Amino acid sequence: MKIALMMENSQAAKNAVVLKELQQVANGLDYPVFNVGMSDEQDHHLTYIHLGIMASILLNSKAVDFVIAGCGTGQGALMSLNIHPGVACGYCIDPADAYLFAQINNGNALALPFAKGFGWGAELNLRFIFEKAFSGEKGQGYPPERKEPQVRNAGILNQVKAAVVKDNYLDTLRAIDPELVKTAVSGQRFQQCFFENCQDKEIENFVREMLG
């Protein structure tokens, strides 16, 4: 599983802490981690709106399998990611959230609050969240006897989203302000992750077009 971590301007100073805890868990599972957002406050400027565009491009092109995002409260990132086709993002405050999302909803992204409640022991909470998000088999249901309806409902929700978003995926990207998209894909680490792992030539061509 390839994992992308993306952080925006308001919480960029915490990137090193979040990345360290994510890598500690992912390395033990042999999951590569790509730090594609802001690494500090002087880095390529991003908002949570850009994170949604970035996540959608990486997930729909299969450049990565899972995205960890967030902002001050996590709510803006949650809304931004879930706007896009092919992204199923959950909101995660503690390890129980991460476990239940993996087992019941089985999505491909998490939005975390990196300011609200980020106090003493925050790095431990992050590590335990990542352990519950990525350890073990996903989609097993909780409690176990509820697996069948939970899997069914998660599938129905994905079908409803696909029905509501009727346009071709690239058409949805082209409908967004081009400057927003260009900023989202202009980061050097994002481009390295995307171009080295992209499995969709049409999306790759679109990103190259955006970059000129």
H/E element holding 180? helix 178-185
> Which tokens is 94 given?
């503690």
> Which tokens is 15 given?
């990137």
Cβ neighbours of residue 61 under 8 Å, at least 6 residues apart?
Answer: 194, 198, 199, 200, 203, 204
Burial class of residue 140, CB neighbours in 10 A (0-12, 13-18, 19+): middle
**Domain coverage including residue 25:** 3-211
- 58: CATH: 3.40.1400.10
Q: What pLDDT was estimated at residue 167? A: 76
Q: What pLDDT was estimated at residue 11? A: 97
Q: Which of helix, strand or coil describes residue 34?
A: strand
Q: What pLDDT was estimated at residue 164? A: 84
Smallest Cα–Cα separation from 50: which of 192, 160, 183, 194? 183
Q: What pLDDT was estimated at residue 13? A: 97
Counted domains in the chain: 1
Q: What pLDDT was estimated at residue 28? A: 96
pLDDT per 10-residue tile (average), the chain, 212 residues: 98 98 97 97 96 98 98 98 97 98 97 96 97 93 92 91 85 96 97 98 98 94
pTM confidence score: 0.95
Cβ neighbours of residue 10 under 8 Å, at least 6 residues apart?
Answer: 71, 72, 115
Radius of gyration, CA atoms only, the chain: 16
Q: What is the DSSP letter of 147?
A: H
**What residues does 113 pair with on adjacent strands?**
71
